[in-house]
Amino acid sequence: MKELEGEKVNIRKLVREDVDKMQFWATHKDPLYFHYNFPKMNEEQSDEWYKIKTKKFKRKSFAIENKDGEVVGYLSIRNMKWIKKESELGIVLNAKHINKGYGKEAITLFLDYYFKTLKMKILILRAAKFNKRAIKCYKSCGFKIVKESIDEFEDQYSEIFYNPLYSHLRRLFIISNGKKKTCYVHMKVTKDEFYNKINSLSTKIYASVE
């Protein structure tokens, strides 16, 4: 793919060397987001992680760089359905670079590539309902909530569930059939919805991907 250039970030194909750089990312201090901390892996584990993220027919992954050339995040699309032209988005940022506008610009740049170059029609995602910052970002990019569900939490062994310091957070979860679950919102954006949203804004992000 050709590198996508925005005002704050660029997006390019994820390469193996990026995995080594992400090993040094900062960690989230809020226990609700511990599962977003990049795992510490040896070389063999890193090779396997990269293979899973990039070598599958139904998955593509991309690095997000800031203007200093630092890898500040990555995004993936998975469960690609080529006939329906639909897939699911996942995005992770270095905890040090949250709240800098990188996520919104990266998603906006990527959606233009997704719809124009990959010729896809729908992108979906799932976010924990307590992750209000992420949901606000997704809405600003054109995503709409289509439903809510109670699903298994990604990190079944989170400190939230056994550390007394985080007992106040347990109200966000339920235990069902021995599994910790929480409420998720399912969101979707179509090609038309995205461009209608972008065209309603005065933004240089869109101009940069024309």
pLDDT in tens, 77-88: 999 999 999 999
Contact 78, 88 (CB under 8 A): yes
Handedness of CA 112, 118, 121, 125 (dihedral sign): negative
Query: What mean pLDDT is predicted for residues 108-132?
Result: 97
Contact 143, 186 (CB under 8 A): no
Q: Band of the pLDDT at 57, cuts 50, 70, 90?
A: confident
Domain edges within the chain = 4-208
**Does the model's pTM come out above 0.85?**
yes
Residue 35 has pLDDT above 50, yes or no: yes
Say which residue the tokens 């979906």 belong to: 124
What is the enclosing helix (H) or strand (E) of 199? Answer: helix 191-199
Here the tokens at position 7 are 């005002």
Report pLDDT digits (tens) over 125-139. 999 999 999 999 999
The residue type at 91: I
Q: Tell me, what's the pLDDT at 56?
A: 86
Report pLDDT digits (tens) over 166-205. 999 999 999 999 999 999 999 999 999 999 998 877 544 4
Q: Write phi, then psi, for 145 (nearest 5 degrees).
A: -75, 130
Residue 208 has pLDDT above 90, yes or no: no
Alpha helices by DSSP H, listed for 39-175, are 43-54, 102-116, 132-140
Topology of domain 4-208, per CATH? Aminopeptidase (3.40.630)
